[in-house]
Amino acid sequence: MTETHDLSIDQRLALRSAATRLREQFDGVFGRETIELFLHSSYDQFASRSTIPNFLPLLAERFARQRLQALAKVEGHVQDGKPVVLFLCVHNAGRSQMALGFFQHLAGDGAVAWSGGSEPGYEINPSAVAAMAERGIDISKEFPKPWTTEIVQAADVVITMGCGDACPVFPGKRYLDWRLDDPAGKSVEAVRPVRDEIERRIRVLLEELNVPALH
């Protein structure tokens, strides 16, 4: 748990504001203690490897929101029938982020997608960002993040991309292993074929899930 005396005044205020927004969003679903536990543990996930402390409260709020949404589904508070897909790779900086970008772009509100890494990196791969921008999809505001138990439990389909034994395995989940070249250290030109193959697979996946592609 984050020790508040280790935080700057601005960070403490930002976390307090984040907690208020999350309590409003999940009012009647989760209590104050659960929300603050998820927020502060999410903060801790990023604090040890972030080089930009001022962004930490924002990242923590976004990740805590995702985790709370996952927990709500696991506990049966959400029953909207939308399929949930989780994309996992090692650093959550290239392949899984491109897959997430395509899935959200093509599925719209018809499905939910998340991504994570077994060893999250520090930033999204610039070549992946540039390659996706060529398709009109902006993944520059995403951030590498770990997977957590509730996120995996909430997923209907878990797609792994090169994380091997480090990827979590839970009984009763549908697992797909997509063997794709790692974009790490590659130029935009070298990433384009990976991007195009990811798009092809996402379109096939959406058909299997009976989710119409919007584009």
Distance, CA of 56 to CA of 45 (rounded, Å): 10
Note if 115 is an active site residue. no
Which position among 22, 137, 167, 194 bears the catalytic label? 167
Burial zone of 170 (CB within 10 Å; 0-12 exposed, 13-18 middle, 19+ buried): exposed
Which position among 19, 163, 198, 205 bears the catalytic label? 163
Structure tokens at 150: 């509730």
Residue 146: phi, psi to the nearest 5?
A: -80, 170
Structure tokens at 209: 């899930």
Note if 140 is an active site residue. no
- Annotate 33-69 with DSSP letters as a single string: HHHHHHHHHHHHHHHTT-S-GGGHHHHHHHHHHHHHH
Note if 78 is an active site residue. no
Which position among 39, 59, 64, 89 bears the catalytic label? 89
Q: Which residues are catalytic?
A: 89, 163, 167
